[in-house]
Structure 1
């Protein structure tokens, strides 16, 4: 299982870096809110993070 944990950690760090590179600090904040909401089973945090990420992704189309 330690290898699986290492692979998971590398994957999470890679996704975080890609989101920050593409969408800046707001994207990282959205991802953080979404992650905290899912882990804490808080619909408010996860919804806020999902909406923020959706707005950042849809911004060029608007």
Structure 2
């Protein structure tokens, strides 16, 4: 839990390397989850990309 707080603090502070690490770690699981619900590859990719975009934009 403390590690998660540190990760999000780094992202909030603009640490692009930490953001990229989170992106690489969670992109595929999030994509698989959204694809399982939606069943469309393009829509699932767009949802996950939008999620990470908003995370970085609103950090």
What is the TM-score of this pair, normalised by structure 1?
0.34
The structure whose residues are more often helix, as a share, is 1
Greater Rg, structure 1 or structure 2? 1
What is the TM-score of this pair, normalised by structure 2?
0.35
